[in-house]
Structure 1
Amino acid sequence: MQYNYPGCLITLEGGEGAGKSTQIAFLRDWLAARGISVICSREPGGSPGAEEIRSLLNLGELDKWDEITEAILINAARRDHVVRKIRPALMRGDWVVCDRFLDSTLVYQGAGSGIPLDILRTLINMAVEGLRPDLTLILYIDPLIGLKRIKRRKSKKTRFDRRDSAFHARVANGFFNLAMTEPERCALIDATQSPKRVAMEISSVVSNLLKNKIKYKN
């Protein structure tokens, strides 16, 4: 069952190096300038318990866990995130802008790691209990370009950053296929453009969502 909340959930998805953090900051300010109460979050993480699991997931050797264990941990973090932060915010009428959500699991652990989608959907449904994004912005980038971007970062590379190029290619294809499969929810944005141009495209898409929300309330 999918629930309707007075708030709105926007998720940003994409491969490594797509520029999600930059665009989330822009979108937060853009919405706030229009009088909308905005909360930004991320996955894995977003709540104290989920952040602890994030540390476990991001650090260590690539084969630290098998794929199923990794998927279970991600959805355990998601459950805590939804219960303690996302759902209460949406019930208050806040807009939540989240860096990754359930689609990353379907793409990274599904298309990327080969876990059957029915297994992943079962785990996701247990974690979110019908919660789905109102809008998903997919920042699409050639994985080779994305990997070059993250190599320039000064922060320590995560376990996901360090996966091989074939994995990242499967992830990129997975996000593209998702956008083609669910065009009513997902907007595909070319993330190789300048940050300003990407932000303009995002604001155009979100403007339509905002208009529909206001129309629905009235």
Structure 2
Amino acid sequence: MHPGRMIVCDGGNGAGKTTVLKAMETHLVARGRDPIMTREPGGTPIGEKIRQVLLSPDTPEMCDVAELLLFAAARAQHLREKILPALAAGRVVVSDRFDSATVSFQHYARGLPLALIEQINAIAIDGFKPDLTIILDIDPVLGLERLGRRGDGLDRMEQENLDFQCRARRGYLEQARRDPERFVVIDASRTLEQVVTAALAALDRALAR
């Protein structure tokens, strides 16, 4: 157990995580909580270097197992260098993605065995679990449309096809179905105001536990 809290915001590409995360930061700061805002892959100098390799469109040849291990390496460093010390100090850590993303993208979307995913995740996080994972759920067709309107270049994962994104979405929803105490699913196709309101309500409930 730790005195802090870890909240994860996850979900499909184009679901609006960036906007929700900014709203969560503002909400926490207004309540004097001084949150640690972080992301995966990344969050540490080592993790950010791994992120560059993982998400670069210039690495299309990356095999699925290498991808899995790189995500796990970044997560192991992230947890030990940044997350656990912050939680021990009583801080609120809010992360853009965490272990649920690996299950969704590497198992459901890529097709790697779930037993392998769980084994690698277990090594990376050593039994640690976030206090809450908020899943922003969106139809991948709408998500890809939003990404197209964003105007930025797409990273390697965002460039995956619709079928891939649909499989990842099933992965998130299945995880939430299996563990309703840890996961909250929010319909990200609603208005931005509605999505943010629902996310902040879930955040407040988790912090009140």
Q: TM-score range by the shorter chain?
A: over 0.9
The aligned counterpart of 1:35 is 32
The aligned counterpart of 2:149 is 152
Shift of residue 62, structure 1, vs aligned partner? 6.3
Q: Does 1:188 align with 2:185?
A: yes
Structure 2: unaligned runs, 5 residues or longer? none
Deviations 1:57-116 (A, max 9, x none): 111356421111100011011111111111111111110000000000000000000011
Instruction: Give, as a single letter, the amino acid of the residue that structure 2 aligns with 1:181.
Output: R
Structure 1: unaligned runs, 5 residues or longer? 213-218
CA contact (8 A) 1:7 1:94 kept: yes
Instruction: Give, as a single letter, the amino acid of the residue that structure 1 aligns with 2:189.
Output: T
The aligned counterpart of 2:72 is 75
Deviations 1:20-45 (A, max 9, x none): 11101101111121121201100001
CA contact (8 A) 2:44 2:81 kept: yes
Deviations 1:128-183 (A, max 9, x none): 11211100100000000000011112222111111111101101111111111111
**Structure 1 residue aligned with 2:169, among 169, 172, 189?**
172
- Give every structure 1 segment of 4 or more consecutive aligned residues whose post-TM-superposition deviation is greater than 2 Å: 60-63
State TM-score, norm by structure 1. 0.93
CA contact (8 A) 1:62 1:163 kept: no
Shift of residue 193, structure 1, vs aligned partner? 1.1
Shift of residue 195, structure 1, vs aligned partner? 1.4
Q: Does 1:141 align with 2:138?
A: yes
Instruction: Give, as a single letter, the amino acid of the residue that structure 2 aligns with 1:53.
Output: I
How many corresponding residue pairs?
A: 209
Structural mapping, 1:98-117, within 5 Å:
98-117=95-114
Where 2:150 maps in the other structure, the secondary structure is coil
Q: Distance in 2 between matches of 1:70 and 1:37?
A: 33
Q: Distance in 1 between matches of 2:34 and 2:131?
A: 16
Identity %: 36
Where 2:21 maps in the other structure, the secondary structure is helix
CA contact (8 A) 2:5 2:207 kept: no
Shift of residue 210, structure 1, vs aligned partner? 2.0
Where 1:152 maps in the other structure, the secondary structure is helix
Q: Distance in 2 between matches of 1:211 and 1:74?
A: 31
Instruction: Give, as a single letter, the amino acid of the residue that structure 2 aligns with 1:33.
Output: A
**Structure 2 residue aligned with 1:8, among 5, 8, 14?**
5
Q: Distance in 1 between matches of 2:45 and 2:60?
A: 25
Q: Does 1:45 align with 2:42?
A: yes
Instruction: Give, as a single letter, the amino acid of the residue that structure 2 aligns with 1:75.
Output: A
